[in-house]
Structure 1
Amino acid sequence: MKAAILKTLGTPLAIEHIPDPPIGTGEVIVDVVAAPVLSYADEVFSGARRYPIDLPMVPGCGAIGRVREIGPDATHLQPGDWVFCDPTVRSRDDALMPDITLQGWSARGDGGKRLHQYFHDGPFAERIRVPTENAIRIGDIEPRDAARWCALNVMLVPYGGLLAAGFQAGETLLVSGATGNFGSACVAVALAMGARCVVAPGRNERALADLERRFGERVRAVKLSGNEDDDRERMRNAAPAPIDCVIDLLPPSVSTKTVRAAAMVVRPYGRIVLMGGVGMLGGDDLALPYPWIMRNDITVRGKWMYPPAAVTRMTGLIRGGLLDPGHFEIATFALDDANEAVAHAAANGGPFRMTVILP
């Protein structure tokens, strides 16, 4: 099969033919139809993000495809089924504390590295081998719509945070990082889940105006000034009701002061979910005040990715007309042009923009 291979950090992907992945028990082979290219892929491939990966590797993170071959443990999947290839691979030998790797992308801890050594290659290829539970049916789609369904890959991340927070219809949410790729997707997902209002702070006035244009009065944009106290007051005043939940999706380059300014607008007994990359490249600690957390009964939790059932639930939101992947502007590239796709994704990131490789 043809694949794009990352052989060394800082070098272009090599387009080569490699052996098809063999199938084993507990595994599925999927023909990749569309694979999204994350906007920061160039930072991963250059080594700037310092992700722990073993090279050479076929990279990529998530895909839409059709089942080619199933193992003996599959009881529902059939060859030809359209599936989302969930990159979040969990170990199966500790239900309480499973290790996690993102197939074709990154690993976490020693156990995650061991998973990464086996479920190693991602979807920048004609075929991919995934654990049976990671080939999740999405129902019949037209092949031409496969690229648009790659929006699942972006929207599922904030959806995981909202589920972790127990976010409910009628609540008010603040999305810290609302003008970014994952943050803008979070706005769309929260509204689909029945949010009364989403407060969207940011510095990009054009992106803020676009959110208000797309979603109307249920989105309240706030232009940040950089002054922590002033910004906190502006965010609080923008909401029509006390803010029930704050979710942070800011990238590694952002100061912890920006995170703290947003987090501390949450109401007493509210929830904060941290899902971004702030601090991954060093810098100050978040330093939320202990007395404020304790006396206001604030719940603070981290969340990485999303639970397996989230894919099926989000597919239901899309099928039910509540969540529209059509918000995304999509640029497609052939597998032979994978390096051009990575460059395009880096130059064209931001709200509701997506680059997709069509193997």
Structure 2
Amino acid sequence: MRAATLTAFGTPLVVHDVPDPTPGTGEVLVEVLATCVPPYADEVFSGERRYPLEPPVVPGVGGIGRVLHVGPDATRLQKGDLVWCDSTVRARDDALTPDITLQGWSSRGEGGARLARHLHDGPFAELMRIPTENAYRLPAGTTDLARWSALAVHTIPYGGLLAGQLAAGETVLISGATGNLGSSAVAVALAMGAGHVVTPGRNRKVLDLLVDRFGARVTPVELTGDEDTDRAAMAAAGPVDLVLDLLPPEAPSSAARAAAMTVREYGRVVLMGGVGMLGGPDLALPYPWIMRNSVTVRGQWMFPRTANVGMIRLVATGALDLSPERITRFGLDQVNEAVAHAAAHGGAFERTVLVVQ
């Protein structure tokens, strides 16, 4: 098969012939059809983000594929099924705290690294083997697979909103709302029934775009960079029931703190972004404020398995409308152009997609 391989950090991906993957028991072989290229892929491949990938590796984060082979443990999945391939792989030998790897992308701890060495390669290839439980059938008649590959983006904030127990009618503040993941979170929160979404950011153009797309249920807040001023402006748009932070690694912890501290008494804060991953001060939320206001603060990496089913339903029913998203397609042989394009076009509702077959 043809695949795009990261041979070393800081070098272009190499598209070449490699051996076909051989699925084992409990695994599925999938023909990759479309996979979304993250806007920060160039930062991963350069080594800037210091992800625990071990080159040589075929990278990528999930995708849409067609099943070519299933093992004896599959009772409903069949050859020919169109599936969403979730990259979040969990070890099967600990139900309470399983080790996790993002196949072809990242991992957590030594256990996750061991798992990554077994399921090493991702979807920047014609074929990929994945665990049986990571293949989710798409509805019959699904078309425009490049657009559906954006599940790789939308399922992440969906997991955060589920972790924060977002209820219909509530007000949620999306910290980082003008970014690629943050703008997705706005759309997903509204699809889940949020009554009101507060969208702070410094990009006026994107703030206006969010209002144009979603109307009066969105309240934009243009940030100044001053922590106290910005906290007051965000709080004035409340009361805020839930804060979901999706700020990138380069964002200062003060921006995340200002957003978190807008939540109401008994409110919830979910941290899913990259703040602090490149160094800098800690988040430093005040102990008395958390305690006296009975605020719940939790981290969330990725999402539970059930989130894949929920997200597919949101898209299939039209609750989450993917049609306004701007899709740019590249072939596998154009993978380096795709990575560069994704870096330059990582704004709200912009998707760069490898169409492999």
TM value normalised by structure 1: 0.98
- Give the structure 2 partner of residue 3 of structure 1: 3
Check conservation: 2:338, 2:353, Cα contact below 8 A: yes
* In structure 1, distance between residues paired with 2:212 and 2:30: 38
- 1:283-321: CA deviation from partner (whole Å, max 9, x where unpaired): 000000000000100000000001111111111111222
Other structure's SS at 1:174 match = strand
Q: Does residue 307 in structure 1 map to residue 286 in structure 2?
A: no
- Give the structure 2 partner of residue 253 of structure 1: 250
State the AA in 1 paired with 2:293.
Answer: N
Deviation at 1:111?
A: 0.2
- Give the structure 1 partner of residue 344 of structure 2: 347
- Give the structure 1 partner of residue 108 of structure 2: 108
- Give the structure 2 partner of residue 335 of structure 1: 332
* In structure 2, distance between residues paired with 1:62 and 1:214: 27
* In structure 1, distance between residues paired with 2:314 and 2:53: 34
Describe how 1:211-226 pairs up with structure 2 within 5 A: 211-226=210-225
Deviation at 1:53?
A: 1.1
State the AA in 1 paired with 2:351.
Answer: M
Other structure's SS at 1:316 match = helix
Percent of aligned pairs with the same residue?
62
- Give the structure 1 partner of residue 76 of structure 2: 76
- Give the structure 2 partner of residue 263 of structure 1: 260
Check conservation: 1:82, 1:141, Cα contact below 8 A: no
Moved over 2 A (4+): 140-143
Describe how 1:138-177 pairs up with structure 2 within 5 A: 138-143=138-143, 145-177=144-176
Check conservation: 1:81, 1:140, Cα contact below 8 A: no
Check conservation: 1:174, 1:245, Cα contact below 8 A: yes
Describe how 1:174-193 pairs up with structure 2 within 5 A: 174-193=173-192
* In structure 1, distance between residues paired with 2:180 and 2:102: 19
State the AA in 2 paired with 1:91.
Answer: A
* In structure 1, distance between residues paired with 2:236 and 2:23: 56
Check conservation: 2:139, 2:316, Cα contact below 8 A: no
* In structure 2, distance between residues paired with 1:82 and 1:283: 44
Count of matched residue positions in the alignment of Structure 1 and Structure 2: 356
Unaligned runs of 5+ in 1: none
* In structure 1, distance between residues paired with 2:302 and 2:141: 25
Deviation at 1:238?
A: 2.1
- 1:222-265: CA deviation from partner (whole Å, max 9, x where unpaired): 000111111111111123xx110000000000000000100000
Deviation at 1:82?
A: 0.9
Call closer, same or farther: CA 1:61–1:234 in 2, change over 3 Å.
Answer: same
Check conservation: 2:253, 2:281, Cα contact below 8 A: yes
Other structure's SS at 2:323 match = helix
CA-atom RMSD in angstroms: 0.8
Deviation at 1:142?
A: 4.6
- Give the structure 1 partner of residue 62 of structure 2: 62
